[in-house]
Amino acid sequence: MSAEKTSTTAASEARRPPTGMIIKIAAILLVTVVVYFLPVPDGVDPRGMHMAGIFAGTILGLILQPLPTASVALIGLAAAMITGTMDASKEALQGFGNASIWLIVAAFFIADGFLITGLGRRIALMFVSVLGRSSLGLSYGMALTDLILAPATPSNTARAGGVVYPIIKSLAEVNGSRPDDAESRRRLGSYLSLTSVQVNTITSAMFVTAMAGNPLAVGFAAKQGVEISWGTWALAAIVPGLVALAVMPWLMSKIYAPTLKQTPEAPSRAKKELAELGPMSRGEWVMLATFVLLLVLWVLGSTLHVNATAAAFLGIAILLVTKVLTWKDMAKNSGAWSTLIFFSVLVGMATQLNDLGVIDWIGHGVASLVGGLPWIAAFAVLSLVYFYVHYLFASNTAQIVAMYSVFLGAAIATGAPPMLAALALGFIGNLFGGISHYASGPAGVIFGSGYVPTSEWFRVSFIASVANILIWSLVGGGWMFVLGMWH
């Protein structure tokens, strides 16, 4: 065979899709077509099952990931438009005008300010310098860092991977804990790493702007008549959230204990790094002042009549005017723009499903499965199913888009108080983010570090999930009863 022919054959094979991708695409097409051609139930618009099929195929595409997330969403949108399932001029692009999605995008840019100025790292080092004399103290220091950054960081992956994990990795390595072998990783790195994931699920659940899927849940709840403000969510989550943050590092130190208990040198190293950073820069001061202003506007938004999205854009404007951020910084934030595209598409599809009657039909079907039970028992069953079905998902947001409205509708149909149900399901949409090594972005970051093997992840995280469920159900449920959310 000639060299030219050999080269042509090799190039052809390189362009040929791998077998795994072909199987994924075939599965997506099969699910789409089967649902697309299902008989139309009573009360559902004739286009309803077409929309359900395209939506199901898109969600499956987000789970299987034959292509990047935004690409999958755009392909689904194209299918919806070309088949007439969504009108191109009135329905297909409605998600791009959703204020909740723009709140997410704006908060991505605000989070950039913490990374670019170095304020996030400074905060982490400050906590290590005070609390870092033991492995448990280090864990609480990372938890407090995560908590402080959470309200303005909708990318929980950026928070975990960009600020917290680099500090954890450094602390582990200087204490002789590397992912190379079991003895070394269990010295400190495994404990800090997996604990940081569980903590991240808690901080993400505490604020609307702490995880990208939360504003979507708020939007879906509004379509079912439940209005949740930034302050309402934070008030309902603050007590169970703080209790869970107090418990989780301690619990993890018992069920996944590090062999290194004391880290007396960590505070001095943190102080040395802080000294090298020097005094806070102008950019850090501006970032801090902007962050405080945003918190005030988000908490008091309903009183001051300031929309949360408007407040976020004011924050961006301040950072741009002061040149803490530049348009170049914003333009290269591919995560923000990808989020805008695929969230807008998915929200538009979910809205169309609701408008065509599909969500109501599915919700009543799910509710009928727990019919006859007292609403508390029915809601407990629905909540547990909603939590643990996440083993089938590789994204918090994908499950929220696919299932939140259905389960909320079912819960309300069983007689559950609408505000209680909407908030509880909203919290769960974050808390299940650590149950598997693929459950969320932060989980993927930590698993990629090599500190936590799959078997240990599933075992330890299941115990942690039970603890979270108990805390958020008992403490959170009691707190929301005090707040009057049980009617």
Using alpha carbons, select from 285, 363, 270, 293 the residue that is nearest to residue 324.
Answer: 285
Which pLDDT band, with edges at 50, 70 and 90, does 302 fall under? low
Scored b (16 or more CB within 10 A) or e, 9-33 reads eeeeeeeeeeeeeeebeebbeebbe
Per-residue pLDDT, 327: 93
The two tokens of residue 323 are 């040149």
Alpha helices in 37-164 (DSSP H): 48-64, 69-82, 99-117, 119-131, 135-149, 156-158
Per-residue pLDDT, 152: 78
17-44 pLDDT, tens digit per residue, is: 688 788 889 999 999 999 999 999 888 8
Residue 147 CA to residue 118 CA, distance in Å, equals: 17
Is the CB of residue 160 less than 8 Å from the CB of residue 146?
A: yes
Per-residue pLDDT, 4: 54
Residue 382 CA to residue 311 CA, distance in Å, equals: 35
Comparing 456 with 299, which gets the higher pLDDT?
456
The two tokens of residue 221 are 């709840």
Per-residue pLDDT, 12: 53
Mean pLDDT (the chain) is 86
* Amino acid type, 146: D
Q: Distance of alpha carbon 284 from its chain centroid, rounded?
A: 26
- Mean of the pLDDT values across residues 262-278? 87
pLDDT at 487 over 90: no
* Contacting residues for 342 by C-beta, under 8 A, at least 6 apart: 62, 69, 70, 72, 73, 74
Using alpha carbons, select from 64, 470, 399, 2 the residue that is nearest to residue 244.
Answer: 470
Scored b (16 or more CB within 10 A) or e, 93-103 reads bbbeebebbbb
Residue 192 CA to residue 186 CA, distance in Å, equals: 10
- CA-to-CA dists, residue 304 to 237, 290, 298, 299, angstroms: 22, 17, 10, 10
Q: Distance of alpha carbon 49 from its chain centroid, rounded?
A: 28
Most confident listed range (101-105, 233-237, 315-319): 233-237
The residue whose two tokens read 């004739």 is 46
- Mean of the pLDDT values across residues 453-479? 94
- Mean of the pLDDT values across residues 273-300? 87
Which pLDDT band, with edges at 50, 70 and 90, does 7 fall under? low
The pTM of the full predicted model, rounded to 2 decimals, is 0.74
